[in-house]
Amino acid sequence: MEGFGVYVPGKSFIHGRDPRVKILASIFLSIVIMRAGLSVLVLHSLLMAGLVILSRLAVLRVISSLKPFLSFFAVIFVLHCLVWGESDTVHAVSGELLSTEGLIRALTVTWRFALMVIAAALFTMTTKPSELIAGIGRLLRPARAVGVPVQDVAMMMALALRFMPIFLDEWQRVRTAQMARGVDFRKGGLPGKVRTIGTLALPLLINSFRTAEETATAIEGRGYGAGEFTHLREFKLTAADCGALAAICIAAGLPLIAS
């Protein structure tokens, strides 16, 4: 199983960084990307390409992380094309005005989301699930003072990320099984497609609950919650970690400030 959310073993510079640094860098990149214009997004794309090279991940593997979100990107693009702007009309679609302003806005927003997905994919592909839990727990440790169950929150966030590729893989298996039984997802109008997609919902829901129950049983069987948590590896920030975080913040933030 490959794609978004699946850890890829490696010994690259990105793999070796402290998970707290990668979490903070991902959050910062998401913030600046959401505020970036079209010209700044070009520079952010170059930065992301450099991070992919440093991670030593296959480019096609990283790009494949976008596949589950293609439908979402298409909806976002079309909505912004039709809704944004009423001047400088290029041509009309279904009676609605399609403007160059809307096209630029649609491209910008879609590009932003694509870069955010790639940033998140780089983070999950280069960080072990155990390191992810430890990193989130370390960052949220001050919240213990107000009674927040930090370790439980970290576990839930890590499981949510881990279950995304499992859910997508399960969806593909159910879809393949339904197609083998003669279900055609390409024919029919919108009502017909909604009905055929409905054939996926029930088995997918049942399998998801089964997987969740098995995971809960496995966690309970390993004594989760019985005493203070310890970690196999104690993380310590190094000069390389601090330098990497500073370099990403400068490289991503300066173009935005300059614009």
Q: For the segment 48-81, what is each residue's pLDDT rounded down to a tens digit?
A: 999 999 999 988 888 888 888 888 898 888 888 7
Residues 41 and 134 in one domain: no
The domain tally of the chain equals 2
pTM exceeding 0.85: no
Q: Between 10 and 148, name the one with better pLDDT.
A: 10
Answer yes or no: are the C-beta atoms of 90 and 28 closer than 8 Å.
Answer: no
pLDDT at 91 over 60: no
Q: Does 135 lie in the same domain as 116? A: no
Q: Is the pLDDT of residue 26 over 60?
A: yes
Q: pLDDT digits over 165-219, tens only? A: 777 778 888 888 877 877 776 666 656 666 666 777 788 888 888 888 888 888 8
Look up the domain containing 44 and give its range: 1-127+236-259
Residues 116, 13, single domain; the answer is: yes
Identify whether 194 is part of a domain: yes
DSSP 12-62: STTTTS-HHHHHHHHHHHHHHHHH--HHHHHHHHHHHHHHHHHHT--HHHH
**Residue reference for tokens 């593997």:** 61
Q: Where is 227: in which H helix or E strand?
A: none
Q: Kindly report the average pLDDT of the chain as a whole number.
A: 81
Residue 193 and residue 89 share a domain? no
Residue 117 lies in a domain: yes
**Which tens digit of pLDDT belongs to each residue from 234-246?**
778 889 999 999 9
